[in-house]
Each structure stands twice: as C-alpha cells, then as structure tokens.
C-alpha cells in the first residue's frame, strides 16, 4: 500500500501541476474557451492509461504461474527501475524550467490553429505520467502477494496529490515543491532498488543469471516474506527472507550510485543557491 501511495502521490502531483500551469497560462491570456480542449486531452490520456493497465493485468493473469508470467514480471521490474530513476533525475534537472517549456508549447499549439492542438499537448504531458504510473503499479502488484490494500493506497495517494496540487495552484510561493519532489524522489529510488532485487531473483530462478546465487542469510524464523508486514517491506524495500548475493549486491550498488549522484549534484547546486531561489520563485508564480 505504501509503495502505491507514494507512486500515485508523486505522479498525481506532477500531472496536476502540468494541468494547472496550462490552465493558468490560458486564463492569463484570456483563452478560457480552450479549457475544454485541455480537459479532453487529460480525459483521453487517463482512459488510455487505465485501459492499457487493465488489459496488461488481465492478459498476464491468464498465464499465472507460468514462465511467461515470470519473464513479463521481470521485464516490468527492469522498466520500472529505469523509469523511476530517470524521472527522479529528470524532475531534479527540469523542475525550474517546466513552466517555461509548457508555456512555449502552448503558444505553439495556439498558433497552429489546430482544433486539437492543446488537447494533444495535454494528452502527451499527462499521458506520459499515466503510462509511467501503469508500469509502476503493475510492478508493485506483481511483487506483492497481499493486494487487498493496494487499491486503497493508490486512491489515497491520488487524493492527497490533488489536495497538494490545489494548494500549489492557490498558494504557490508558500509551498516548496522542490523539497517535496526531492524527498519523494529519494523514497522512490529506495523502492526502485527493491524492484531491482526482485528482477535479479527472477533472472536467477529462470537460469538467465546463474551467478552470485549463494544465500547470505535466512530470517524466515523472525519475519516471513509472506506475512502481512513482510509483504509490505518486500514490496517497498525489496525485503527477502533468503536473499542471494546477487540480489543484495545489485541493490547496494544501485543505491550507492544513485544516492551518490544526488548527493554530488546537491553539493554543486548548493554553490548557486541564490540563483535557484529566484528561478524557483518565478516557477511557482507561474501556477498562481
């Protein structure tokens, strides 16, 4: 539940901010009549994402327990790890310029005189977040044995993201979105490392990675992976009661590299704090 909560919280905030920026810019230019095009694009993106996610889940469910399911799950894990890592670093680099980029694309859509130009822009922007969310959700569902609380976590995360997005739109400068995305980004990278551990475990079971298969420890006597709490920390942190050397090594290497890159970038950016504060203030003013 916690993993899906964070996923929907983060993706919901980003998608909502994109829509808020588009609507605020159109409103400031006296183009409220185009609001319906934005909502059309958002609706189409959500329908597509939900449809693809449901179809993929049902399709894979027909192969429950088969080798095909394991291969599909492993591919989903690796794709989710890549997307989680990419979007965390992308947002860190583009958060300050996001508003300007969207405004430029909006001007281009308005200038093209195409009926669905703005709808296409909203569809592309929100659709990307939706498809990412589908991949992450499938990865979490596949990695979780008890799925009863996953829907609740997703709904709760989406609801909280809507509240935060509304607060950002209304109060702008009083909310530090950079810190919010930073904290959630660190947690999602930790979650990505757990998915990487699951992917390595599957590869070893398939015989595609027959290395470092030595079991490092056995904590089944203290915390079963199939227990309620064990399932929660497995789906979020990649907990395994009998992890192999490959699983632990892959997870540690991933965390050292990604956290090291973030720490290094933080040190470099710390030398130009005044400039970043001015840029962040302008970006938040854009969604007011």
Question: Does residue 166 surpass a pLDDT of 80?
Answer: no
Contact 65, 158 (CB under 8 A): no
Radius of gyration of the chain (CA): 21
Q: Residue with structure tokens 């599909």? A: 72
**Using the 8-state DSSP alphabet, how is residue 126 labeled?**
H
The mean pLDDT of the chain is: 78
- 73-77, 124-128, 212-216: segment of lowest average pLDDT: 124-128
Q: How far apart are CA 262 and CA 30, in angstroms?
A: 41
The pLDDT, as a whole number, for residue 278 is 53
Share of the chain above pLDDT 70, in %: 78
Work out whether the CA dihedral 109, 110, 114, 120 comes out positive or negative: positive
Higher per-residue pLDDT: 183 or 194: 194
Q: What is the pLDDT of residues 242-285, one digit of tens each?
A: 999 999 999 999 999 998 888 887 777 666 545 544 555 555 45
For the stretch 46-74, pLDDT in tens is: 899 889 888 888 888 787 778 888 898 89
The answer to whether the pTM exceeds 0.85 is no
What average pLDDT does range 123-147 have in this prediction?
78
């Amino acid at each position: 539940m916690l993993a899906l909560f964070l996923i929907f919280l983060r993706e919901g905030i980003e998608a909502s901010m994109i829509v808020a920026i588009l609507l605020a810019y159109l409103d400031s230019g006296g183009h409220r009549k185009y609001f319906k095009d934005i909502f059309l694009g958002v609706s189409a993106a959500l329908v597509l994402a939900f449809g693809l996610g449901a179809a993929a889940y049902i399709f894979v469910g027909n192969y429950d327990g088969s080798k095909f399911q394991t291969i599909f799950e492993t591919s989903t894990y690796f794709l989710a790890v890549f997307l989680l890592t990419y979007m965390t670093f992308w947002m860190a680099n583009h958060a300050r310029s996001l508003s300007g980029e969207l405004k430029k694309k909006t001007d281009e859509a308005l200038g093209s005189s195409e009926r669905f130009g703005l709808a296409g822009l909203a569809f592309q922007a929100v659709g990307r977040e939706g498809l990412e969310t589908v991949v992450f959700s499938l990865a979490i569902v596949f990695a979780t044995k008890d799925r009863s609380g996953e829907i609740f976590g997703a709904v709760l995360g989406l609801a909280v993201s809507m509240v935060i997005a509304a607060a950002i739109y209304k109060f702008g400068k009083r909310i530090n979105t950079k810190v919010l995305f930073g904290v959630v980004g660190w947690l999602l990278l930790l979650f990505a490392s757990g998915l990487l551990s699951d992917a390595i475990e599957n590869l070893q079971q398939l015989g595609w990675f027959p290395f470092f298969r030595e079991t490092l420890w056995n904590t089944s006597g203290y915390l079963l992976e199939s227990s309620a709490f064990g399932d929660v920390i497995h789906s979020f942190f990649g907990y395994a009661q009998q992890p192999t050397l490959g699983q632990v090594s892959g997870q540690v290497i991933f965390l050292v590299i990604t956290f090291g890159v973030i720490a290094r970038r933080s040190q470099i950016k710390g030398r130009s704090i005044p400039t970043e504060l001015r840029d962040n203030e302008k970006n938040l003013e854009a969604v007011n």
